[in-house]
Structure 1
Amino acid sequence: MHDRLSSDGARTSLHMERRLPHPPERVWRALTEPGEVRQWFPAEMRVEGERVVYDVGPEGRVLAFDPPRLFVHTWGEDELRWEIRPDGEASVLTLTHTFGDRFGAASFAAGWHTCVRAMAAVLDGRPVAAERDSAHLHEDFVALLGLDGVRPHRPGVRYERQLTRPAAQAWRYLSGDGARLGAPPPAAFVPGGVSAGVVSALEGDKLLEYGTAAGTVRWELAEGTGQGPRLVVTDTGAAGAAVWRSHIEHLANDLSDLPPA
């Protein structure tokens, strides 16, 4: 398994490589024939001339179609590049998925890993295993791909992290339902070493803001990639990246241990 990220500054590419013990012609059929695709991919897909049509989600456009070697197409605003090269009597399948949302990479990687594992079962003539909760797989890819999420912010730091549980479940875990304007924030919103004032802004399971001795901390749960929300924490005060990285990684891993709501 060889997985990595690259970026040109504007868009991110996820590169995934898997060796399959089948010749390229067989892998090509699994990749492009609708009757086979539906066995490993969670949507119907068919190629109609220059169009790639799914029964759900956006359509795509064929950019390259060279059996049994190369299939490149768009998927909404994303690009998927599937390459097959022979390796003895087997094949090496490489997927390059290019997209704009860097912090969605772990969700994409977990999804594609599950799909290609199912494709391998189809190729082998084995039953496709029932899909299990992928939260821990997502967290593994966060670590593998280096998606720690901390970025400089003037002043302070900004932390962005995809979560694996719904916003309402994450909010309950944070004890956000007990937050009140003008009162101290629940402890889960405050990392060690930060002296919190009182809650100055509050919006359901979406936003909580409080002052500190050196600035403002703002928690936001926005629409994310996958099944959970995108957590964005901005601290304009003195707490450093290491403090927030430790606090939020602990939160994200605890959430992945919870059963789905």
Structure 2
Amino acid sequence: MTRNGELSTADGRNVLRFERRLAHPIGKVWRAITEPDHTSKWFPATMHTELKQGATILFVFDGDQGAPTKGVITDFEPERLFAFTWEGEVLRWELREDGGGCVLLFTHVFDDRAGAASFATGWETCIGALETMLAGEKSAPDADYGPRHDEYVALFGLERGELTETEDGWQVRFERNLTKPQSVVWELLTESVVVGSQPPLRFTNGYVPAGPITAFEENTLLEYSCEGGHVRWRLRPGNGGARLVLTQTGTAAQADQRARALAAWQLHVDLLAQWLRGETPCWPEGRFEELERDYSEQLNLA
């Protein structure tokens, strides 16, 4: 039984799955996943509800002055199944007897695939806190969010770029949840910015020649021209950190450069993620060539 979360798709939605064997009676675990005095110690929000099928749930985060988010209990079968929606997403907690303990199966159904690593890291931490509470121990602060998040990025293949053929050429696109707030990412990337001048070095890579900046919005957007198209960096708030959407366009005559662009930007964003984890990345010898071959095979260019 792996402790990693597993990601799949069903009916066009993403399904994140965790399974744990717990050395505790099923009744004890049921109380821990349903009763407010227990859930407050490990679940990410306080749940205000009546424990019955069809009841509305209000989710309140500590220190959040905004309106509560909402959900509905869709299934409630004592000591077996507790399932509910949360702003359109579905959370399902299932228990089954297993010797003197029980098995917990948790699934989270959602649409935002780029957020899957953040969800997996968050739920892994919550389930770990649940296990600690059941054992009667005190949870220690989690200091490994960044590295664990990026392990899930690799495990789920979320570092990969997408290629779209356009009316006059092509576009490569990367959408990546990062582990630091938007302002921190922007500060790491930027130096002085003037429209019409060259972009700061960390917005560029050595494989895509960079032209002058064509658009700029503080903390949010930087775009510059490149031969045959443009490169655009856009940041917004994401799950647990900033959400980056990075695109490059090219012309139909530059079709042979698509794999090169995909490889260059995947490597570049991976190095950015290392910087955000507080590491000083070393250039991975041969990694660009490996990625370019991989993307070429994927695009049938080899």
Deviation at 1:44, TM superposition (A): 1.6
SS of equivalent to 1:128: coil
- The one-letter amino acid paired with 2:6 is R
1:257 and 2:284 matched: no
Partner in structure 1 of residue 299 of structure 2: none
- Of residues 20, 23, 28, the one that matches 1:21 is 23
Question: Which consecutive aligned stretches of 4+ in structure 1 deviate over 6 angstroms post-superposition?
Answer: none
- The one-letter amino acid paired with 2:101 is A
Deviation at 1:53, TM superposition (A): 2.7
Structure 2: 5+ residue stretches without partners? 62-67, 251-256, 280-302
- The one-letter amino acid paired with 1:180 is V
- The one-letter amino acid paired with 2:173 is R
Deviation at 1:43, TM superposition (A): 2.3
Partner in structure 2 of residue 93 of structure 1: 104
Cα-Cα RMSD: 1.6
Alpha-carbon contact 2:191-2:200 (below 8 Å) kept: no
- Of residues 49, 54, 61, the one that matches 2:59 is 54
Correspondence list, 1:72-111, <5 A:
72-111=83-122
Deviation at 1:2, TM superposition (A): 4.2
The superposition leaves residues 121-148 of structure 1 with CA deviations (integer Å, 9 ceiling, x where unpaired) of: 1100111212435222211211222212
- The one-letter amino acid paired with 1:241 is L
- The one-letter amino acid paired with 1:36 is H
- Name the CA distance, whole Å, in 2 between partners of 1:67 and 1:201: 57
- Name the CA distance, whole Å, in 2 between partners of 1:232 and 1:9: 25
Correspondence list, 1:124-143, <5 A:
124-132=135-143, 134-143=145-154
SS of equivalent to 1:147: coil
Correspondence list, 1:140-151, <5 A:
140-151=151-162
> Which deviates more from structure 2 when the two are superposed, residues 131-140 or residues 203-212?
131-140
- The one-letter amino acid paired with 1:230 is R
Alpha-carbon contact 2:74-2:85 (below 8 Å) kept: yes
The superposition leaves residues 208-227 of structure 1 with CA deviations (integer Å, 9 ceiling, x where unpaired) of: 1111113111100022122x
- Of residues 223, 243, 246, the one that matches 2:267 is 246
1:160 and 2:175 matched: yes
Deviation at 1:205, TM superposition (A): 1.1
SS of equivalent to 1:169: helix
1:236 and 2:245 matched: no
SS of equivalent to 2:41: helix
Deviation at 1:62, TM superposition (A): 0.8
Alpha-carbon contact 1:12-1:99 (below 8 Å) kept: yes
Alpha-carbon contact 1:3-1:15 (below 8 Å) kept: yes
Partner in structure 2 of residue 196 of structure 1: 210
1:209 and 2:223 matched: yes
Alpha-carbon contact 1:220-1:231 (below 8 Å) kept: yes
Deviation at 1:119, TM superposition (A): 0.6
TM-score by length of 1: 0.92
SS of equivalent to 1:40: coil
- Name the CA distance, whole Å, in 1 between partners of 2:172 and 2:137: 48
- The one-letter amino acid paired with 2:248 is D
SS of equivalent to 1:153: strand
Deviation at 1:64, TM superposition (A): 0.6
The superposition leaves residues 37-90 of structure 1 with CA deviations (integer Å, 9 ceiling, x where unpaired) of: 111123222431412232244121011111111111001111001111222212
1:39 and 2:41 matched: yes
> Which deviates more from structure 2 when the two are superposed, residues 195-204 or residues 39-48?
39-48
TM-aligned CA distance change 1:233 to 1:134, over 3 Å: same
Structure 1: 5+ residue stretches without partners? none
Deviation at 1:9, TM superposition (A): 6.5
1:114 and 2:125 matched: yes
Deviation at 1:11, TM superposition (A): 1.9
Partner in structure 1 of residue 297 of structure 2: none
- The one-letter amino acid paired with 1:122 is M
Partner in structure 2 of residue 64 of structure 1: 75
Alpha-carbon contact 2:56-2:72 (below 8 Å) kept: yes
- Name the CA distance, whole Å, in 2 between partners of 1:89 and 1:232: 48
Deviation at 1:195, TM superposition (A): 0.7
TM-score by length of 2: 0.80
> Which deviates more from structure 2 when the two are superposed, residues 93-102 or residues 141-150?
141-150
